[in-house]
Amino acid sequence: MRRAQAIAVLLAMTLMVAGSAPVVAQDQGDSSLNLIRSFPTVDTVETRPDARGMVLREAQTFDPDAIERALAANASGAVPKTVFPPDERSRVSPAYNQIARLVILDRYGYGIGHCSGSIIGPNTVLTAAHCLYSAESGWVAGIAIIPGEDGAIRPFGYVLASWMLVSAGWQESFSPAWDWAIVTTEVMIGNVTGWLELGVLSSASLSSGTLDLITVGYPGDKPDGTQWETSGRGLEDVTDAFLVSRLDIFYGQSGSGIIRRQDSRVIGVWSVGTPDINVAVRVHELMIVDLLAGCAEVGCSFAYWVEPPNPADAFSRTWARTDAPVAAGIVSRTWMWGPKPFDARFEPYVESPGGQRAVAYFDKSRMEVTNPYGDQNSPWYVTNGLLVGEMVTGLLQTGDAKFEPRNPAAVNIAGDIDDTVGPMYSTFRGLLTSPALFPGQSVNQRVDRMGNVWVDPNMDWYGVTAAYLVEVPNLRHTVASPFWAFMNSSGLVFDGNSTTWAQLFENPFYATGYPIAEAYWATVKVGGTQHDVLIQCFQRR
């Protein structure tokens, strides 16, 4: 009996693309950050039903002469911090604009201490709650914010707080777990200084021993108004609420941020210390939710970023459903994706966060996570790239409605790489609008390398028919019967817990996408021998 090979287009492709710049400037040295005048995107203020909320107080107004007297004082806060010998702190001069000294004012305008803070938006400064509100004294009367103070030099002067907000949890319990707060300013000082971005990192990222950290503030044991930094790798411990470290800090640095060096994101707020450790409140999603709720009340805004789930986990789950049983040798069928990914990267895509989406290349497909914050339980959380469509048309998709023109791929669509007779991807460019066969009609059309099509009655012998008509906007083609049978077939799959018998694909078009052309027979060299091969191009393979 004559045999024919039915091939749904399977391919592997690597696209070389340039990475995009981060939203905050990268550091340029081993011990300093490039923070000057960076303006990360400020997220839209919104309310959330799960917000616990903030407690707010309007700051008092003061006589300017009283403020000047207060700024001359260098009293620091009273919450202990620890410098671990040897003292590895270094002076920052000129100072970072986005780090501020916060002078605490009593109701008479006297300076009664100072903390440190990070400017995180046009009119928003992040600090520690105990700098603003305590069990013993209640609210402070006001705060004077001095951005980028460098000893006697105050490049931006000072601005007064208009509102002071502490977490509701702090007012109720005074637990260090709630020791974070924000101060809003009378003027949009961040539009001049730039601001930093809050970063909500996964526990895995925070627990990495290679995590490069830096903290900057105004320690009370150093000359008046001087900014100091210390850096190190890794944290001592990470919990849901706290970051434990041995970075050197001192009285007066309450409210300083722990900053991840690689992107200058603030990941923690210094709260308290012991002789052995210093403890910061972790920047987490609940903090962001409450800060958003507070800003909605007083009219402030700030920049934040939530680390998306690791795309490798989602790619692995998608691969495992059909290919884990193949890899384990408990089923004999073709790979759906391939033995393993041979490349993983981020590539430009307009609608993805930061304009980049995660992709993984397998022998037979490109997996993508376009929206990392989507529903991970949805089968469409991971999609498969439109590689065949891109190679046939020469249009590389970099957004939902954005394409970069390239040349159609002059690459054999099937068979041996040295075949000079079989069709290429570019062959099908002129066949995308060919009329669809009717369901039940015999698939007996042939195509050659130049894209010429003719009916070959000899192909009727194989009994291949048009099985399923797909009609969607700008596309009308019929799936050939062997491919339709495979797309709806069942077999052993891995469901995340065990191997079970089920449909290979929860949606028949999940892995392949829609057909972009009709099915055609072609003569293709496979293993050095000419064969009749059935080829149909689908969007994704």
Tell me the Ramachandran region of residue 474: left when phi exceeds 0, alpha when psi lies from -120 to 50, beta otherwise: left
3-state SS track over 264-300 = CEEEEEEEEECCCCEEEEECCHHHHHHHHHHHHHHCC
Assess whether 477 carries a catalytic annotation: no
Which residues have a Cβ under 8 Å from the Cβ of 460 and sit 6 or more positions away?
A: 442, 444
CB atoms near residue 324 (< 10 Å)? 18
Query: Which residue is catalytic, options 118, 254, 264, 365?
Result: 254
- Cα 434–533–448 angle (5° rounding)? 50
Q: Does an H or E element contain 482, and which?
A: helix 481-487
* CA 288 vs CA 10, 310, 390: distances in Å: 44, 21, 40
Catalytic residue among 38, 76, 130, 162: 130
Secondary structure tally for the chain: helices H, strands E = 8, 34
- Distance in angstroms (rounded) separating the CA atoms of residues 395 and 392: 8
For 290, phi then psi, to 5°, come to -70, -40
Q: What angle do CA 404, 408, 413 make, to 5 degrees?
A: 135
Which residues lie closer than 8 Å to 104 by C-beta, 6 or more apart? Answer: 77, 111, 112, 113, 114, 115, 131, 140, 143
Do the beta carbons of residue 131 and residue 137 sit within 8 Å? Answer: no
Distance CA 74, CA 220 (A): 7
Amino acid (one-letter) located at 223: P
Q: Which residues 6+ apart lie within 8 Å of 69 measured at CB?
A: 109, 110, 111
Contact call for residues 171 and 181 (beta carbons, < 8 A): no
Q: Which helix (H) or strand (E) holds 533?
A: strand 529-536
Q: What are the structure tokens assigned to 82, written together?
A: 């620890």
Residue 254 appears among annotated catalytic residues: yes
Nearest to 71, CA basis, from 44, 109, 108: 109
Q: How far apart are CA 373 and CA 314, in angstroms?
A: 12
Half-sphere exposure for 526 (CA within 13 Å, toward CB): 16
Q: Which of 338, 309, 278 is nearest to 203 (CA)?
A: 309
**Where in the sequence numbering do the catalytic residues fall?**
130, 254
